[in-house]
Amino acid sequence: MKLHRKSVLSYFRGTGARAPDREGILLKKGTRNPSYQRRWFILRGNLLYYLEHQGDRTPLGLILLDSCRVEPRDSTTEPYAFVILASEEGGRSYKLAAEKKVDFDGWLQALVWAGWSQLWELLQPLQEQYQRVCQEAGVEPQAPPQEDRFLGLPCSPAPSGFQELHQRFGEEIQALARSRATRRQVDLMEFG
Amino acid sequence: MRYNEKELQALSRQPAEKAAEIGMRVPKKGSVVKRRLVKLVVNFLFYFRTDEAEPIGALLLEHCRIAKEEPSGFSISFIEDPDRKYYFECSSEEQCQEWIDALRRASYEFMRRSLIFYRNEIQKMTGKDPLEQYGISEEARFQLNTHQA
């Protein structure tokens, strides 16, 4: 299977606007070599990257957290050891260890909560609450910021004036409302 | 950059948010539209030959631009390479718009921005932080301003 590398690398490098969710040194047990290697780990979203050195432009590897579970483990040599286990039969496991208790606690917390589904489950009730609060306050709900504007990319074609921009924004909100209505069966809201 | 093929395959077998047979054209010279089974799982888009169980490829839907392409199609391109587009041809305008919306919503960063937005708005309007009940209000990844140094 061909994984589109550029998108994965681009996400790793970030846009410069957001720091990674967590980064730091973790000890990683080698696959062939049983000794621990110090690696720089970067968590961004639901992806965990590891680098040979902090500041490397290209990661050594990538771990897809949605296919794994994270657990503490016992180790004869490392007191703060944990494992990232592939949920599939025959999948590999990543034996890791933190150097300090505070790192162990921090990483476990971050990794266990890093999955895409967890974020999705957090987002749904918040979205519903926002719609309710808007209705109660008698204000029109707004759409969250769109990708293009956030990254400063021009929309194509560029709007010729405020009128067209206003129109397009209105259309985007309507499209968002339509898709939300079909999925969530909430009351269809009127947008100006 | 190493990754575990099995992890990617396992992901492609998870329940899909959306799946359909769609015409697809990759950004390669001379490439033509081919019928593919396209499957959206978390923030990955997998595409399969219609009669195969293993995907041919996977796209991470972050830092990408999803644009409407006439007629009844859309494209995915990545910020670092905006001219190389993956084209998709849908069977109707409605299917097309559904896919565009689903792909945008699938981005982890889009979800995060939405969460931060809703959190901030709810706090402004009610005076209460909605994340407090989950005990995660201090988490860095949900803060409004986390800029790189």
Residue A133 or residue A15, greater confidence: A133
The model's pTM is 0.82
Q: Measure in Å the smallest separation between the Cα of B91 and chain A Cα atoms.
A: 18
Contact map slice: A 23-82 vs B, CB within 8 A: 45-47, 58-64, 66-68
Q: What pLDDT does A173 receive?
A: 55
| Secondary structure string (H, E, C) spanning B18-60 | EEEEEEEECCCCCCCCEEEEEEEECCEEEEEECCCCCCCEEEE
First to last CA, chain B: 26
Question: Cα torsion for B144, B146, B147, B149, to the nearest 10°?
Answer: 150
d(CA B46, CA A110): 27
- 3-class state of residue A7 by DSSP: helix
What is the predicted pLDDT for the residue at B136? 75
Looking at per-residue confidence, does B55 or A157 come out higher? B55
- The residues spanned by each domain of chain B are 5-106, 115-140
Test B121 with A67 for CB contact under 8 angstroms. Answer: no
Element housing A82 (H / E): strand A81-86
Biggest distance spanned by C-alpha atoms of chain A: 68
Confidence of residue B80 (pLDDT cuts 50, 70, 90): confident
Tokens matching residue A147: 């990708």
Mean pLDDT score, A48-56: 95
| CA B90 remoteness from chain centre | 17
Are the CB atoms for A96 and A26 separated by under 8 Å?
yes
ipTM summary value = 0.90
pLDDT at A168: 52
Nearest CA in chain B to A45: B108
CB contact under 8 A, B110 and A144: yes
Give the pLDDT score at A30: 87
Residue A50 CA, chain-centre distance (Å), reads 16
Instruction: Please answer yes or no on whether A147 and B65 come within 8 Å at the CB atom.
Output: yes
A87 touches chain B (CB under 8 A): yes
H-assigned helices in chain A:
5-13, 101-112, 116-137, 147-151, 162-184
| pLDDT tens sequence across A63-90 | 999 999 999 999 889 999 999 998 766 6
Q: Are A191 and A170 in contact (CB under 8 A)?
A: yes
A62, B101: Cβ pair inside 8 Å?
A: no
At the topology level of CATH, where does B5-106 sit? PH-domain like (2.30.29)
CA atoms of A166 and A92, how far apart (whole Å)? 51
Nearest CA in chain B to A124: B115
The pLDDT score that the predictor gives to residue A33 is 85
Chain B closest-CA separation from residue A78 CA (Å): 25
A-chain residues near B79 (CB < 8 A): 10, 15, 151, 153
Are the Cβ atoms of B42 and A117 closer than 8 angstroms?
A: yes
**Contact call for B104 and A10, based on CB within 8 A:** no
Question: Å from A27 to nearest chain B CA?
Answer: 17
pLDDT digits (tens, 9 = 90+) for B10-57: 999 999 999 999 999 999 999 999 999 999 999 999 999 999 999 999
Judging contacts by C-beta atoms under 8 Å, the chain B residues touching residue A2 are: 56-58
Among A19-33, A165-179, B37-51, B129-143, name the one with the lowest average pLDDT. Answer: A165-179
The pLDDT value recorded for residue B134 is: 76
Q: Which of 148-177 (A) contact B at CB < 8 A?
A: 148, 150-151, 153, 156, 175-176
Q: Hey, are the CB atoms on B1 and A134 less than 8 Å from each other? A: no
What is the per-residue DSSP string for A144-184? Answer: PPPHHHHHTPPPSSPPSSHHHHHHHHHHHHHHHHHHHHHHH
Among A1, A11, A134, select the one facing B62 at the smallest CB separation: A11
* CB-CB contact of A6 with B78 (8 Å): yes
Chain segment B113-139, per-residue pLDDT in tens:
999 999 999 999 999 999 888 777 777
Chain B residues in contact with A144 by the CB 8 A cut-off are 110, 113-114, 117-118
Task: Please provide residue B20's backbone torsions phi and psi, each rounded to the nearest 5 degrees.
Answer: -165, 160
Helix (H) or strand (E) holding B121: helix B108-126
